[in-house]
A and B are shown apart, each in its own frame.
Chain A
Amino acid sequence: MIKDLAVMIAGKAGDGVLFTGNVLAKLLKRHGWEIVTSRDFPSNIRGEATCYTVRASLDKIYGLGDQVNILLAFDCEAILAHLPEIAENGIVFCDGQGLINPTPEQTRGKTFHRFSLRALARERFGQEIFKNVMALGALTYVLGLDSSVSDGIISDMFLERKGEEVVRKNIDAARFGYEKAREITAETERHPLTKRADDDRILISGDEAIGLGALAAGCRYFAAYPICPASEIWQWLVHYLPDFGGAVVQTEDELAALNMTLGASFAGARAMTSTSGPGASLMMEAFSLAGMAEIPAVIAHVQRLGPATGMPTKSQQGDIMQWIFGSHGEFPRIVLAPGTVGECFDLTVGAFNLADKYQCPVIILTELDMGQNFRTTRTFDFLKVRIDRGKLLSPGELMGLSDFKRYEITADGTSPRSLPSWKNGVHLAESLEHNEKGYRDEDPLNRRRMMEKRMRKLDPAWPDLFPPRIWGCQKADVGFIASGSTLGAILEAMEQLRVKNIPSRFLQLRTLWPFPAAEVRQFLEECRDIFVVEHNFSGELATLIKSQVSPCVELKNILNYSTLPFTPKEIVEPVLRSRR
């Protein structure tokens, strides 16, 4: 019985790879399988190689795994590019007439079928575009899936937007693809999957989960500038925020996006922006303003490969230091890093409460791999969502105060807040150093007291922050430390090591700042070999750990700065090498 399988759909940008992949992922999810998807695509709209992998497993998975069992390619170049990833007994379908000259070595144990999807689509339906849904039908046959489920998904996708005729034609095309695949595929070549109950689960991307978390947390103002791979947060929210009484605004640049978020927050909204790469650099200026004027703000940063414009459609973890130590001057900030789509939701809800409670900027730092790809998770429990606006007064409370001071020096460092239009609460949000009333003040003693007030705000925050999560064995010599979407590959690497009798454990950091030094120190004491796994060149997380835990044991970095996220193998191998 097959318990785990990956299907890759490959072609050129514009071929419809995304459509086929998305529908296949949903189809497998509705058969009760756990799903992780991955898109490897260029930063252009048409013409360059792209591929979409859907991995399905009966066990909970968070990453993509090491191999591909079925490859459906809309052109021949894709085959040569992905041959090394094809598993034993893998099956390859190829449309097109190009040259494929794999060596016998490369093809051993794998089956190749020419599958003229384009020609068949043209001939039967008059349009090449039907090749995509035919491909879906073919995969439905090969994977032994239930056609009525795929009919339902097609209907969901097209009925409202395009009408019954389009639905019928697409379902016909899926059936046609199914039959054609039956004609060319031997029964023994199929990879039939069982069907399980599709219980209380959803298939969602990290960006969408952040959007849904923001909506649930009461975010009602969203301002951003288009940038890959963060735009999906906005493109999701734009369909819902107006119905909830909120607004989504496209700004002229990221300078405006964060400044506008701060204006909206100052006026009383739970406000958010999202960005990536160069956009984050532009936001550095207003980031500092949020710190100085103590304005709550949530910033979702979906990291992409840098520096400069880098590779906008590739994942990376190279912007950690930017948010922890970035911008001019010193001010408190909170940096959260979700490792699962469930955490994208939970940490976003938490981010809004933290921002209000500690009146500071909160960053949700994730990566393209998490943001744009889809994963199954238990559906979110909205009944658990709590909204805590911290020391935001009510108009009534404000009227009862004899002397309101917006930046009052308090024991915990956080001061009461009023909103414009509220009587008795008039104040100035000030980017200059200011006194308790908010007015500019260059007195050295005042400066010292205000600096101390701001910088102690996060001292009592520990119970509200997301503590690190420990995965794996209670006791093990091998310990991994990481944050973000490397989680999936690490968990599978741990399983592969366990099979080789090497137990390991994994400290997943979910709050990067304030740094959870006590938990990290304890973890370092409990393991002998520590591997910090990071999708960047210089080991930013390891550098951070060394700066915050002193003295620090030797940390071994497992780094990947390629265009693709880690595979489990890329983590297992360095661990094995280090033990030789």
Chain B
Amino acid sequence: MKEKESYHRLNPTWCKGCGLYGVFDALKRAAAALGLEPEDLVIVTGIGCHGRLNNYFHAYGFHGLHGRTMPVATGIKLVNPRLQVVAVSGDGDAYSIGLGHFIHALRKNVGLTYIIVDNRIYALTEGQASPTTDFGMVTLSTPLGSKDFPIDGPSLALAAGGTFIARGFSGEVAHLASLIERGMKHDGFALIDILSPCVTHNKVNSYDWYKKHIVHVEDLPGYSPRDKAKAWEVLSNPEKIAVGLIYEEDKPSFEELVLADREKPIASLDLKVDAPRLGKIADRFR
């Protein structure tokens, strides 16, 4: 256990009331609960309002390109599996431009925690429709209402073989922190999809709206995150949005399968040139 303020670098300047404040706080709480040293945590972010997180959070960080958090984070994790690697994306980053990367990192079961802060809008660019925007919603890019049907990240993840699928709400920070903490402990890919209001550009999906529409799976009698059929059932409910740990299973992580020895990170290998050994390899071309 560490003091959560040991990860605090700067006070954020997101819009007052933005869901990202809750995400920022929950991430600090989860890291503190696990007692992570700031140098052992790497936060990889994409492009969007969430991308400012690196400026406020004291840890190693990689603020890359729009949609490309997954391959960057995978490269980091494989080279040094001792690191706690957390990727953070918005709905545009993860479910639009980076959707292909998301599915593949997930099916490889790379040991990443992927926090997707879903505000159902492109906020940084002033409010265009995103892949999770409600059908019919009027936005800057859809003045006549969105004609696209929204996609649901956790359902995609379940179909693609996800091994840890959770959804939180940035209005419930303690609950969210516990999901992130469990995700970080999961040996494999952990998805934390977060319902996160944008107070400036999305007047529909507000804190109150979410409070009325969410249901906690832990409150459902007999719910087990190990039961895939149940997971499908709650994810397909048109009335209620399921939050909590929706699904979990054990599968070997990508690092475990690909690396010869997770305790000998590629990052700390001695690169000394072994000329006799290389000479023997070259002899195969004789």
Residues of A within 8 A of B (CB): 30, 198, 201-204, 208, 212, 215-216, 218, 220-221, 223, 240, 242, 244-247, 249, 251-253, 255-257, 259-271, 285-286, 289, 293, 379-380, 382-383, 385-387, 419-432, 438-440
Contacts and interface: CB of A to CB of B under 8 A. Distances in A.
Interface string B21-50: 000000000000000011110101000000
Contacts of A425: 39
Interface string B42-64: 10100000001011001111111
Nearest to A218: B271
B267 A431 contact: no
A213 to B, nearest CB: 10
Closest 9 CB pairs of A and B: A263-B75, A218-B271, A268-B267, A264-B75, A202-B285, A263-B72, A256-B71, A382-B275, A267-B79
B98 to A, nearest CB: 9
A437 to B, nearest CB: 10
A421 B273 contact: no
Interface string B260-286: 110011111101110100110111011
B72 A269 contact: no
Contact of B59 (A266, A382, A422, A426): A426
Interface in B174-215: none
Given A203-B285, A382-B278, A245 B264 contact: yes
22 contacts: A201-B286, A202-B283, A215-B278, A240-B281, A245-B261, A249-B78, A252-B101, A252-B104, A262-B75, A263-B62, A268-B267, A270-B271, A271-B75, A382-B278, A383-B275, A419-B80, A424-B39, A428-B62, A429-B63, A431-B63, A431-B64, A439-B54
Interface size class of B (residues with CB under 8 A): 35 or more
A425 B54 CA distance: 15
Contacts of B268: 268
Contacts of B100: 252-253, 256
Contacts of A429: 61-64
Name A's interface SS: mixed
Contacts of B65: 259, 285-286, 289, 431
B82 interface: yes
B73 interface: yes
A210 to B, nearest CB: 13
Given A249-B74, A268-B266, A269-B266, A259 B64 contact: yes
Nearest to A428: B61
A457 B52 CA distance: 28
Contacts, number: 199
Contact of B266 (A30, A202, A245, A428): A245
Contacts of B73: 263
A267 B64 contact: no
B258 interface: yes
Contacts of A266: 62, 72, 75-76
Contact of A421 (B62, B82, B282): B82
Contacts of B40: 420-421
A513 to B, nearest CB: 23
A419 B79 CA distance: 11
B70 A439 contact: no
A198 B76 CA distance: 45
A253 B68 CA distance: 11
A256 B83 contact: no
Contacts of B103: 252
B160 interface: no
A382 B64 contact: no
Contacts of A285: 65, 68
Contact of B273 (A252, A382, A427, A428): A382
B229 interface: no
B63 A430 contact: yes
Nearest to A434: B63
B83 A267 contact: yes
Given A259-B75, A383-B275, A429-B61, A267 B282 contact: no
B60 A432 contact: no
Query: Most chain-B Cβ atoms within 10 A of its Cβ — which of A251, A269, A271?
Result: A269
Contacts of B156: none
Given A218-B271, A220-B266, A289-B65, A259 B71 contact: yes
B259 interface: yes
A547 B16 CA distance: 52
Contacts of A419: 80, 267
A380 B281 CA distance: 11
A220 B268 CA distance: 11
Contacts of B42: 267, 420
B259 to A, nearest CB: 6
A424 B60 CA distance: 10
B78 A264 contact: yes
Contacts of B63: 428-432, 440
Contact of B79 (A215, A221, A431): A221
Contacts of A255: 68, 71, 101
B75 A212 contact: no
Nearest to B104: A252
A267 B76 contact: yes
A80 to B, nearest CB: 36
Contacts of A420: 39-40, 42, 60, 76, 80, 83, 267
A286 B266 contact: no
A419 B62 CA distance: 12
B101 A256 contact: yes
Interface in B151-182: none
Nearest to B62: A429
